[in-house]
Each structure stands twice: as structure tokens, then as C-alpha cells.
Amino acid sequence: PQDSIDFFNYMITTIKKKLGFPETHLNLTEFDFVDTITCSNCSKTFTSLNTRKNNQASDPFYCFIIKPRQRPDECDEPVQLNLDEMIDDRCNYAFKNISETDLKGFKWLNWTCPNCQCHEGTIARKIKNAPKYLFINNRLDHGSREKDTRKKLKANLEFDINNLDISRHVLEGNGKYELIAFMHHMGRWAKWGHDISYV
């Protein structure tokens, strides 16, 4: 659930910046992305740390957010999602900036090619240091534009409960995980319903 991830990020950031929690504890969950960006126009390649829509590139990540290719408005029946494929999609993808007339000025990614000033390209993303505990958020409301009744994709998620291996996307560290907890949202809309956790 998105609000749970927002709270989790706020909690970890507060612990780090205001309470002076030991770095060794924070390193259990935080990680950085090393992005190799190839410009679509001039084909030059650049390396960036934690490429984002905003300019806070120095802040680490505490959660790996994945998004289905399918959108809630396009699927009435439940769809089958594969966790490995979704992680691959978030580590290797193309991007572009959309004009204000298309989507109210929303930018997919805040990146400009230093060579030709182009705003389009592809990213090959790697986790710099694999954290001991990896939090993954599956955005089932991705693409739904409704304000108060944001639709949620009906989906079944496939993954290996004992061995999630993302080593192909890791520069340093193990990259192999087993499930210890799962949070699930029940309800028709993303903003309404009930959260259930299994530990």
C-alpha cells in the first residue's frame, strides 16, 4: 500500500536525520542505484547516482518500487504478475519528458543530456550495495488518475517465497532474499479498504 511506504520512508528518514541512529543500523535497509543512462539523440552514455524526478540525488532509497505494465483502467479481470519480470522492468527502461499540454507539466524523469540537451533515453539500473533487508512496493494503482476513487489493479503476484534472486541487478552484495513479511491491501479503491500483514 502506498501510504504505508510513505510512512516507512518518513520514519527511516526521521531516524537518520533527527535521532542520530547508528549508520550500521540504517545500512540494513538503505541502498543506492547506479544508473547508466544512454541518450536517445546522441547515443552518449552517462553514469548517475539515484536518478530521480527531483534533484535530491544524494538521498538513498529505502524501498524498491515496482509498477505493473498493466493499468487498472485497462483490466477488469485479475492479471498474473511475475515479480522477477517487474524488477527487470524497473531496472532497464526507457524514459522521456512529456510536454505540459500532454500531462499538466508532469515530467517522467528530471534528466537532461549534458551533450545535446535531449530529455529522452534509456536506463540500465544497478543496486550499488544490496541491503540486508529489501522492502519492495508493488504499485497496483499505477496509472489511475482518479483523485478520490483511484482504481487498483486486480492481480496475483508470482515469486519464489524462499529465494528471490536479483543478483543480476546488484553491483555489490548478495542480492538473494527470502520472504519474512508481506503486507496486502484489500478493497476496491487504493484509498479505501483494509491492510493485512503476514510475518
More confident residue, 159 or 57: 159
Q: What is the mean pLDDT of the chain?
A: 83
192, three cell numbers: 479505501
What pLDDT is stored for residue 76 in this prediction? Answer: 81
Q: Which of 87, 76, 63, 85 is nearest to 155 (CA)?
A: 76
3-class DSSP assignment, residue 12: helix
Please state whether the predicted TM-score (pTM) of the whole model is above 0.85. Answer: no
Q: What is the pLDDT of residue 105?
A: 44
pLDDT on residue 123: 95
CA–CA gap between residue 58 and residue 49 (Å, rounded): 7
Higher pLDDT, 108 or 133: 133
pLDDT in tens, 131-177: 988 999 998 888 777 777 778 888 899 998 888 999 999 999 889 99
Give the N- to C-terminal CA distance of the chain in Å, as an integer: 16
Report the Cα 41 to chain-centroid distance in Å.
Answer: 26
**Helix (H), strand (E) at residue 85:** helix 83-91
User: Is pLDDT above 60 for 107?
Assistant: no
Give dist(CA 179, CA 25) in Å, integer.
20
How confident is the model over 9-47, as pLDDT tens digits?
A: 777 777 777 776 666 666 788 899 999 999 999 999 999
Contact assessment for residue 90 and residue 67, using Cβ atoms and an 8 Å cutoff? yes
Please write the tens of the pLDDT for every residue from 82-95. Answer: 999 999 999 999 98
Q: How far apart are CA 174 and CA 57, in angstroms?
A: 24
